[in-house]
């Protein structure tokens, strides 16, 4: 048990840059989520493999991986070389290329539900297109999301549960509220929120309202809510109910796709979505996403449902996707990643058990959540109403030990192929010390 004083890493250069950046960028950053507080916001100099370095040259073993994309590790030479070759092709042409067919074939081979494929630039765009397609196909406008799910930064997805103003003892469900100012109130008329792992609730909703519901949008592993995981039985019940009531099942695999298995979470849970969305891991960080699904639904593109975009299937991103997917399909990269994740979790368990700290893991070893409770939460309300102060304090100490996870428990721990024995050693030594400092 280490009794030394906590080390506080200097963020002097990041802090100075923050003050400068604030004069030109709201919150001093390019995305709200990259702001961690005035003296805690980190600016990155570079990343390589499973590590990143900040402006102050602090190195970190990184388990955020840009919110998941760097599945092979930062600056992977195989993918970057492919991207360079993609650059030679010339960018975008407002015309098709042979490479997009190649990528579509690869995705169809890996994911049985992906009978046809289209590309987008981001997860948000892919999910937006999936929702529009489901609406075009069914002629209905409503849709269901699960509490705690995140599907991107577009108005129809920016709704959440008002758990802060909800009484956990009551028999009611938390109210649905916009996640952001600027989300039009009128959108409320179209959205229904359901609790995860409660098939009876969904059945009752479909019985009453399915005539107006086009789509059910779900992440079986909630990648933005500590990897809370749906029971496979629940996912299969959702599949059955969607079939019964003619609702298009959209499985959002933006985070789980090409990460938890070659065929994504659908293959692990034995379900086939009608439509599914991919992004993050498919190009090791290059900007591309995919929307894929049932042929009869996908063929509505071109028969009345709009889809496109100037930068769609950009030659650089597509070349990166083809190479990344080739590696993920044809090498044991995913087994290496899951194996590392499992060893890390076992190592963490040994440390926690030695101190009598009750804990559990959720999700998948390649994107796992850590809880200081006997069992992981079953839904968003369980998570929101549990005490995560130990996690938050520990995360701060971990950063000072050179191990970077999200400052709160919302993001899972993402593992990449480049996380090696050295990373594991740093992580477990840092974890042990961070836990001790948190107990003290
Ligand atoms: N869907 C899920 C499940 C996500 O996790 C995210 C992003 O984290 C998105 C959609 C949106 O993707 P993007 O940030 O690429 O727009």
The reported pLDDT for the residue numbered 331 is 98
> Is residue 34 one of the residues assigned to a domain?
no
Q: Are 177 and 161 in contact (CB under 8 A)?
A: yes
- The 10 Å Cβ neighbour count of residue 171 is 5
- When pLDDT is averaged across residues 261-280 and rounded to a whole number, the result is 98
| Per annotation, catalytic residue among 272, 280, 323, 384 | 280
Please say if the pLDDT value at position 6 is more than 70: no
Count up the domains in the chain and report the number.
2
Last residue of a domain, one of 310, 330, 350: 330
What's the confidence (pLDDT) of residue 8? Answer: 82
Do 69 and 86 lie in a common domain? no
| Closest atom of ligand 1 relative to the 123 alpha carbon | 12
Residue 176 lies in a domain: yes
Pairing of strands 142-146, 191-194: parallel
Q: Over the stretch 338-372, which tens digit does the pLDDT of each residue have?
A: 999 999 999 999 999 999 999 999 999 999 999 99
Final residue of a structural domain among 292, 313, 330: 330
DSSP notation for 151-174? --SSGGG-EEE-GGG--TTSSSPP
CA of 425 to the centre of ligand 1 (A): 31
- Residues 58, 401: Cα–Cα separation, whole Å: 10
- Residue 62 within any structural domain of the chain: yes
For 12-33, the pLDDT digits (tens) are: 999 999 999 999 999 999 999 9
Report pLDDT digits (tens) over 308-341. 999 999 999 999 999 999 999 999 999 999 999 9
pLDDT tens digits, 129-173: 999 999 999 999 999 999 999 999 999 999 999 988 988 888 888
153 with 254, same domain?
A: yes
Task: Say whether both 81 and 194 belong to one domain.
Answer: yes
Cα 298 to chain centroid, rounded: 24
Active site residue 252: yes
Can you give the pLDDT at residue 415?
98
Give dist(CA 184, CA 138) in Å, integer: 24
pTM, rounded to two decimals? 0.97
The whole-number pLDDT of residue 2 equals: 44
Domain with 433 in it: what CATH number? 3.90.1150.10
Q: What is the three-state SS of 22-72?
A: CCCCHHHCCCHHHCCCCCCCCCEEEEEECEEEECCCCEEEECCCCCCCCCC
280 is an active site residue: yes
**CATH number for the domain including 133?**
3.40.640.10
Q: What is the mean pLDDT of residues 273-283?
A: 98
Query: What's residue 268's pLDDT?
Result: 97
Domain assignment of residue 387, given as a range: 46-74+333-439
| Domain final position from 330, 347, 374 | 330
How far, in Å, is the centroid of ligand 1 from the Cα of 9? 31
ipTM surpasses cut 0.90:
yes
């Amino acid at each position: 048990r280490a009794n030394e004083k906590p080390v506080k890493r200097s963020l002097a250069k990041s802090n100075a840059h923050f003050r400068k950046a604030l004069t030109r960028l709201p919150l001093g950053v390019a995305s709200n989520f990259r702001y961690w507080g005035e003296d805690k916001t980190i600016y990155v100099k570079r990343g390589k493999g499973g590590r990143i370095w900040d402006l102050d040259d602090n190195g970190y073993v990184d388990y955020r991986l840009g919110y998941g994309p760097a599945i092979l590790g930062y600056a992977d030479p195989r993918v970057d070389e492919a991207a360079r070759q993609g650059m030679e092709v010339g960018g975008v042409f407002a015309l098709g290329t042979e490479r997009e067919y190649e990528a579509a074939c690869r995705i169809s081979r890996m994911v049985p539900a992906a009978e046809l494929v289209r590309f987008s630039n981001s997860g948000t765009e892919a999910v937006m297109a999936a929702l529009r397609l489901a609406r075009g196909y069914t002629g209905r406008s409503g849709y269901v999301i699960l509490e705690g799910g995140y599907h991107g930064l577009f108005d129809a997805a920016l709704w959440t549960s008002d758990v802060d103003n909800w009484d956990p003892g009551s028999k009611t469900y938390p109210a649905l509220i916009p996640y952001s100012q600027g989300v039009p109130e009128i959108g409320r008329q179209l959205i229904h929120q359901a609790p995860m792992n409660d098939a009876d609730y969904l059945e009752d909703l479909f019985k009453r309202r399915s005539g107006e519901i086009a789509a059910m949008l779900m992440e079986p592993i909630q990648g933005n809510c500590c990897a809370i995981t749906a029971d496979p039985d629940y996912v299969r019940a959702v599949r059955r109910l969607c079939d019964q009531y003619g609702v298009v099942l959209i499985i959002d695999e933006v985070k789980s796709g090409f990460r938890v298995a070659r065929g994504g979470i659908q293959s692990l849970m034995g379900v086939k979505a009608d439509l599914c969305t991919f992004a993050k891991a498919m190009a090791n960080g290059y900007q591309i996403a995919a929307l894929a699904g049932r042929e009869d639904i996908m063929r509505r593109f071109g028969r009345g449902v709009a889809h496109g975009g100037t930068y769609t299937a950009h030659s650089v991103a597509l070349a990166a996707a083809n190479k990344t997917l080739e590696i993920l399909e044809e090498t044991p990269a995913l087994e290496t990643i899951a194996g590392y994740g499992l060893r890390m979790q076992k190592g963490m368990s040994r440390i926690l058990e030695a101190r009598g700290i009750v804990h559990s893991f959720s999700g998948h070893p390649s994107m796992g959540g850590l809880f200081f409770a006997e069992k992981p939460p079953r839904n968003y309300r369980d998570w929101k109403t549990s005490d995560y102060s130990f996690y938050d304090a520990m995360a701060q100490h971990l950063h000072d030990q050179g191990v970077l996870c999200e400052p709160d428990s919302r993001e899972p721990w993402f593992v990449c192929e480049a996380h090696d024995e050295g990373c594991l050693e740093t992580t477990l030594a840092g974890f042990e010390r961070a836990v001790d400092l948190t107990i003290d």
